[in-house]
Chains A and B, each alone.
Chain A
Amino acid sequence: MNAAPTALSATTSGADLLLWVAFPYICLAVFVVGHVWRYRQDQFGWTSRTSQLLEHRWLHWGSPLFHLGAFMVIAGHVVGLAIPDSWTEAAGISEHAYHTTAVWAGSVAGVAMVTGLGMLCARRLLTRRIRLGTDRSDKLLFPLLSVTVLLGISATATHNVFGGGYDYRETVSVWFRGVFTLQPHPAAIADAPLLFQLHALSACLLFAAWPFTRLVHVWSAPIGYLARPYLVYRRRATPAAPAPARQRRPASSSRRAA
């Protein structure tokens, strides 16, 4: 894997270049720039957009199932995609043991996430109050997330649970790491089964959409709460700079004061 093959060999077709190099990088660029833009421009819109007030019975089960399932799924992806199989083998974990664990844990996590997401989608569609409060970004996010999750779980189900087994760590993972090490290997994923390919592409889209949806609340996970003092005092506001005394200021110059 660290043989560093010529990243973009001549055999790679134009379509592969477009799908597995250009497209992911565009999505990643949108992801990064979009976040910077939104964080600077839209603190007021940066929220989990809770709708528990309006509907709580479905949410009570759906939301924890979805979130906890998602955490496991994300952890699974980090292990499966970011850690080369040579490392796990070096740690004494056989290929078979790895895949058995992955399929089992992944199935549990996947089912939890799909069930949770299904409930969350259902309440959004069936509860009129919530449906009316659903905005454009939600209408993009919910289908996109559902498609990505369903593609992922059906890829696993088709090939690894019921199928003969497909070692994505030899192909998809190599491509994934290549994107981040700036040595893209489009050929690595080009021959992967269609479901894996579609899953990867919709995931790229999801990353591109991320900064413009409520998904941004992921970055605000309040871990700091565990350490901060209970009582928060704040001064009214600190004047940015001592204003020139008694000077009639232009209407727009006084905005920036933290």
Chain B
Amino acid sequence: MSARTGHGMAPGMTSMVEATIARRRSEGGGALIGYLPVGFPTLSESIDAAVAIANSGVDILELGLPYTDPVMDGPVIQAATQQALANGFRLRHGIEAVAAITAQVNVPVLVMTYWNPILQYGVDRFADDLLAVGGAGLITPDLIPDDSAAWVAASTRTGLDRVFLAAPSSSDDRLRQAVDASRGFVYAVSTMGITGARGDVDSAARVLVDRLRAAGSTSACVGLGISTPEQVREILAYADGAIVGSALVKALSDGGVSAVAALARDLAAGARDIRPTS
């Protein structure tokens, strides 16, 4: 299976994220992507929690860097990242966390970050430092392809993945642009809104994934509002990956590392053996 790569990628560089998603698809399921913020509840516990969910069936880690003004995040993640900042989170802790996690587990680690911290750290410097510790790339919730020239150049140079978002409200042209610009996967926003568990994952997600496929995507993962194994199963019937965030953060907050690992195991069960393998 050859996953679609973005413009200007150096030939021969394979995205580990794309390979992981493709492998799960070929096994008759899809990828489970788990989000946790660095530094919550402490830096070391956040590392332990990420390792624990990777060892409990999460296929790809999405590590969030706490930021003062997270406009895409709902109350659960806001509270966690605010606590991490109050505890003294620094950007270098994000790099340290990726290093500690990749030293212990083999799952690809993407970093989810708002744009200004990367801009201030230095786009090229961050790309180099992330690559050096084995990070896979960035998910950028407030950076659209239109304004991303510096990051496209840095990720092309380093071979890091760049995950852009696609929304139900995006035009066909913009979906094509997101698919073309992304590497790793395209983050399909399940519903119009912010992060946080929801009872129903919008039927808009299925329509959006269909539209992304029509735009050429072979790697479309759905996020926002997903919290149960049933929802994961439902989404992976049509999407390549399911992204769970707030539910994991809440489990970590309420019951510590063992609770978040237990939830990851349950969610992973929902991600396997959904369709007959072809």
A is bound by B: no
